[in-house]
Amino acid sequence: MSGALQAWADRYRSRGRYTPVGVTFHWAMAAVVLVQLGSGWWMQRYLVGPDKLAAYALHSQIGLTLLLLGLMRLLWRTLVPGPVNDADKPGFSSRIAHLTHAAFYALFTLLPLSGWAMWSAIRPAEPLYLAGLVPVPAMPFHDLSRAWQYHVLDLAMVIHVGGVVVLSLLVPAHALAAIKHHLVDRDDVFEGMLPELSDHHLHPAGARHSPPPLDDRRDGVRG
């Protein structure tokens, strides 16, 4: 990492915060994931036909965009690691947090790839469009026999449905953990991923610093 980028990132990491780039990646991908979960459920309501096929195409294209965002975010995290915050404290909770993040990155890869494989197995070499702009060719399944195409479709569907189930459980668990950090533990984990807003009444020195215990504040008033 260049010195200028390091210095810029350290301005945020030193206060227990993610950089604005990291924050943007997080919330943009969170929005895309929610859209995908909702659209994946909704498109099952379509009858077989052109509308259902168009919904599958759009869902697959957004999935490829999610794959690209995941790769870009992983590259950014490699170049600019996140802050060391209270979620990194040694112990069971820290291990669960790191496993959860690893599972998210795995799903951001498996779900788009399995969806792309499903699309490639049911349509003869029709391209998808990354972010609606860049054409992405179908996987080369058109040379396989019809029986093998069905095998690929079945395997990809099992992976995709299993991944959706896991993701549907991880998303609320991740959200509840963030709420617990903020409201119960009152540490810096959730604040570090929020857009930088004024919070001087709780943390005058930044996200990493919590207010003094209530007894200390009372002592200060009495003094």
pLDDT value at position 210? 43
CA distance 70 to 92: 26
CA distance 142 to 128: 15
DSSP annotation string for 118-162: HHHHHSSSPPEEETTTEEEPPPS-TTS-HHHHHHHHHHHHHHHHH
pLDDT value at position 209? 46
pLDDT value at position 222? 45
Q: Across the chain, how many H-helices and E-strands are there?
A: 7, 2
pLDDT value at position 122? 77
pLDDT value at position 197? 59
Tokens at 139, concatenated:
């996987």
* Residues paired with residue 135 on neighbouring β-strands, in sequence order: 129
CA distance 198 to 201: 8
CA distance 152 to 146: 10
Q: Are 94 and 84 in contact (CB under 8 A)?
A: no
pLDDT value at position 88? 62
Taking Cα atoms as reference points, which of 61, 59, 66, 77 lies closest to residue 29?
66
Which residue ranges form the domains of the chain, and what is each CATH number? 3-195 (1.20.950)
pLDDT value at position 185? 67
Tokens at 110, concatenated:
């498996």
Is the pTM here over 0.85, yes or no? Answer: no
Divide the 223 residues of the chain into consecutive groups of 10 and give the mean pLDDT of each group.
Answer: 81 85 92 93 82 87 92 91 71 81 94 92 77 83 83 94 96 88 73 66 47 47 44
Non-local (6+) Cβ contacts of 98 within 8 A are none
CA distance 178 to 170: 12
Tokens at 25, concatenated:
């990646």
Tokens at 221, concatenated:
């008033």
